[in-house]
Amino acid sequence: MSSSRRDIMKIAGAVGALGVAGAARAQQAGAPAAFDFGNPSDFERELKIVNCEWLEEDAKKILPPWRFAVMGPNGDGWTYRENRRAFGDYPILAHRLQNVDDKAIDLRVQLLEHSLPFPMIVCPMGAQGTFHARAEAASAAGAEAAGTLFVMSGAATLPMEDVAKAHPGPKWFQIYMNADMEINRWLVQRAKAAGFSAIVLTADALGPGQSDEYIRLGRPQPPGAETPGNHDPARGGRGVFRNFKRNIGFDDIGFLHEASGLPVVAKGLLRADDAKQAVASGAAAVWISNHGGRQMDGVPASISMLGPAADALGGSVAIILDSGVRRGIDIFKALALGANVVSVGRPVLWGMTAGGSAGVKGVFTQLAAELKAAMLLSGVAKATDIHRDFVRYKPV
C-alpha cells in the first residue's frame, strides 16, 4: 500500500473513531479541545420506513447535532423549502378505470446504457464518513442491493476504488474540478479504470455546502476528514476544495469527455438555455438540480425548472432531476414533467444513518412501492408512459 493510500485509509478510519480520538486530534489542529465530535452511526439493520420525513427525524435523533447540520441548507433555506413546496404546483391528474393490473406495473427505465429496476438513482454526496462509519461503502452497498446506479462524490471520505468494490453494478463518478487540469485528467482516468462508466460534472458549487447551523456550531471538522478519498497529496494536496477550479465552463464538458473517453453528465443546471448549451457542448445527459438548496439560496426549485428544460431538449438526451424528492408522487410528477429518472439525496443519508446499507436499500424499496401505488391509482402501467398530461402544468 502506498503511503498516500495508507494515509487516506487512516483518515477514513479516523472519521469512525473520533469519539475516542477526537479531543486529542482536535487539539493538534487548533480546534477547541472541548469539542466533542461524537460518533457517526454504525447501524446495519432493516428499517420499517413509513415515509422519508419520519426517517429524517430518526436520523436526527441518532447523529450528534453538528453531524446532522452538515446536511443543512444554504442561507435562510428558502430554496430548500421551495424544493418541497413546488411539487405542490403540479397536482396529478389521475386517470381512473383504466383496467391497470398491479402485476403489470413496470417501473423499469433506461439511463444511458444502464437498465434500472426503477426510475431512481443515488445522488453524489461527499464526506459520508460524517454520518456512518462505513461511509460511501455503506451507501454504495445499499444501492447495489437495491439494484440501482450509484453516483460517487468527488468529495468522498473513501477512495473511489474501495467504493467500486462495494458496488460492482452501474456507477458514475462526480468531479469537482481542480484548477490543475492534469489532476482532473488523473481523476477521471482513475475513475474509468475503477469501473465508473460516466463522469458527472457538478456545475453549481464553489466549495462544500455549509448551512448556517453548521457555521454556528463552529464548522467542526474532524482533523484530516476533509474529503480525502480521491486526492493524492503528491498531486496538488489532499482537500478537494483546496485548489478548486472556479471558472468552470461548457468547454470543461469536452475536456472531461476527451480525458476519460466516458460520457459526461452536466449536473446542477436549472435554465433551459444552459441545458441546451450543455448538450451542444457534448453532455450525454442533463441533471436538473439546485444541489438540494445547499449551494445558492434564492434559486428556484428544481422541479419548477424541469418542464422548460425538457421542452427545450425535446428528448435529445436523458434528464435527471433531484432536490426535494421524498415521495413516490414526487417521482411520478418528475417523470410527467420530462425526467427519465430522479436522483435521491438526503433520504439516502438518513437511511444509511438509521440502518446502514440495509437502510439505504429500504429507502428505495419504500419509494418504489409509493411510485407503484401512484401509477396504479393513476391508470398507467409503465413508468415510461407517464407523460405531461398526467399533471396540471404551468411553466414558470
Interaction site with ligand FMN (CB under 6 A): 70-71, 83, 123-126, 153, 155, 174, 202, 267, 289, 291-292, 294, 322-325, 344-346
Give the chain's radius of gyration (CA, Å).
20
Q: Are 343 and 123 in contact (CB under 8 A)?
A: yes
* Cα–Cα distance measured from residue 239 to residue 173, given in angstroms and rounded to the nearest whole number: 17
Q: Which is nearer to ligand FMN, 225 or 325 (CB)?
A: 325
Beta carbons within 10 angstroms of residue 84's beta carbon? 18
For ligand FMN, the closer of residues 240 and 336 by Cβ is 240
DSSP annotation of 92 reads B
- State the minimum distance, in angstroms, from the CB of residue 155 to ligand FMN: 4
CB of 98 to ligand FMN, least distance (A): 31
d(CA 319, CA 335): 9
Residue 153 or 304 having the CB closest to ligand FMN: 153
Smallest distance from ligand FMN to CB 59, Å: 11
The phi and psi torsions of 261 (rounded to 5 degrees) equal 70, 15
CB of 268 to ligand FMN, least distance (A): 7
- Residues annotated as part of the active site: 291
Distance CA 393, CA 344 (A): 23
Would you list the DSSP string of 173-223? EEEPPBSSHHHHHHHHHHHHHHT---EEEE-S-SS----HHHHHTT----T
Residue 358 Cβ, how far from ligand FMN at the closest point, in Å? 20
**What is d(CA 319, CA 11) in angstroms, rounded to the nearest whole number?**
36
Question: In the complex with ligand FMN, which residue's Cβ is closer, 109 or 123?
Answer: 123
C-alpha cell at 182: 492534469
Query: How far apart are alpha carbons 201 and 152 in whole angstroms?
Result: 12
Q: Which of 131, 128, 182 is nearest to 140 (CA)?
A: 128
- Least distance (Å) from ligand FMN to the CB of residue 12? 16
| Closest CB 72 distance from ligand FMN, rounded Å | 8
Query: Do 347 and 359 touch, CB atoms closer than 8 A?
Result: no
**Rounded to whole angstroms, how far apart are CA atoms 354 and 131?**
10
Chain position carrying cell 417521482: 331
Cβ proximity to ligand FMN, 265 vs 375, nearer residue: 265
For ligand FMN, the closer CB: 279 or 325? 325
Specify the residue, 125 or 141, whose C-beta has the smaller distance to ligand FMN. Answer: 125
**In whole angstroms, what is the distance from residue 306 CA to residue 326 CA?**
17
| Count of CB atoms situated within 10 Å of the CB of 18 | 26
